Amino acid sequence: MFEKDLKFLEDAFKQYYFDHFNLINVPDRASEREFGYMKFNTGMIRHISLKTDKDLHLMLMSNIPSDVFCSNAYYTFPSMPMSEKDWKEADIIFDIDAKDLKLPCRKDHTCNKCTSCGEIFVLQDGCPKCKSNKIEHISLPCDNCMAGLKKELSKLDKVLTDDLNIPANDIVTSFSGNEGFHLYVKHSQYNDLGSKERGELIDYIKFQKVIPETFGFKKNNPSKSSFPEFDESGWKGRVAKELFGSKSKKSKLVSKIISDGYVAYREKLDEIGKNSIGIKIDPNVTVDIHRIFRLEGSLNSKSGLCKLVCKDVEKFRPYTEACLIDDKPTEIIANCPIKFQLKNKKFGPYNGEKTSVPKYAAVYMMCKGIANSA
């Protein structure tokens, strides 16, 4: 990153933290958690212990971090090296990201940046300028992406509350500040699960590694009566609705399933797990019991947007509500071949031109790597 761009972003982030201390607080049981941060152009600094909001705010203003993190795990000695922390338990966290939904709209709001020469372009695999294949994909998500994410969140919330008996009050959903959402399950009966057990929980939620017998197909003696009914709870009821559509169609479709055979049914269950009823969470996030996560209220250096708790997920508008940097007019050199929208204002496309935009848009484009300070 150019020195001028670095100073601009550091100043913008520092001003944000000065103006929005009310949004940035240590979580409960802060003295048992590990904190960490990154600065622009540097690596991760972690194994930090913070006990109060005053400690946190002092760290923010002293270091001007690009990203701030906090563990979902609780330790006896959070500031010690990992092998000496003495892990106690960890809240369950799920991550749902727009890139994992593989929506058709993604190609319309993604451009490529050559990491060799910096050329920005669309619709090509290789750099048109230097012919390099070292390409970074830059996505500026749209409202359709957010709608897809909210649909997955709704499915996940239902599985957690209906199947796993987690109280709704123990579930907190936050916009990540870039392209996804984090769903936290706090203080639950699952907090003491290790990585292996969390992996099994993921298999259940993603509806994978499914056994046909569980869903009615007895390998040696299949019977129509053993297939799931519409009014059954959990995955059996969801499978019935997905496979049969309506009760009137069930008998005919079950006959076809039996005729096609056990292996075909297993493949069909795998298919609906991947493409429809399974929930598209990132498994690596949930199984990592030592991970540190972006702190609520902090900025995301990939966008300049805030990680924000969603009080009403369906009504939440991330690219308006989480866009909290001020609107001071700012001159930039923008090279953004696709359109995007922030705070109900449309921007782009730009072709390497000098332009004036609100500071929040300048920060967004510079964090995305598609603009520089003028």
Using alpha carbons, select from 179, 174, 183, 187 the residue that is nearest to residue 298: 174
Listed in sequence order, the DSSP H helices in 41-194 are 53-63, 143-158
Per the residue annotation, which of 5, 67, 91, 95 is the catalytic one? 95
Q: Alpha carbon of 326 to those of 19, 152, 320: distances in Å?
A: 10, 31, 12
Q: What is the predicted pLDDT for the residue at 220? A: 86
Number of domains in the chain: 2
Residue in 5, 67, 91, 97 annotated catalytic: 97
53: annotated active-site residue:
no
Residue 212 · residue 218 · CB < 8 Å: no
Parts of the chain with a pLDDT under 70: none
pLDDT at 173: 98
Residues 89 and 16 in one domain: yes
Please state, in angstroms and rounded to a whole number, the distance separating the CA atoms of residues 12 and 260: 61
Residue ranges making up the domain that contains 248: 209-275
355 plus 223 within the same structural domain: no
Do residues 286 and 97 make contact, with C-beta atoms less than 8 angstroms apart? no
Residue 231: active-site member: no
Active-site entry in 55, 282, 288, 327? 282
Instruction: Identify the domain boundary among 275, 295, 321.
Output: 275
Q: Is residue 125 part of a domain?
A: no
What rounded mean pLDDT belongs to the chain?
Answer: 96
Residues 215 and 361 both lie in one domain = no
* Known active-site residue 97: yes
- Give the neighbor-by-neighbor strand order of the sheet with 110-114: 120-121, 110-114, 135-139
pTM of the predicted protein model:
0.94
The half-sphere exposure of 15 on its side-chain side, counting CA atoms within 13 A, is 15
* Largest distance between two CA atoms of the chain: 73
**228 and 194 in a common domain:** no
Backbone φ and ψ of 278, nearest 5°: -65, 145
Which domain CATH number covers 342? 3.90.920.10
At 85 the pLDDT is 98
Q: What does the pLDDT look like over 42-76, one tens digit per residue?
A: 889 999 999 999 999 999 999 999 999 999 999 99
Report the pLDDT value the prediction gives residue 124, as an integer from 0 to 100: 80
Rounded to the nearest 10 degrees, what angle do helices 359-368 and 3-19 cross at? 130
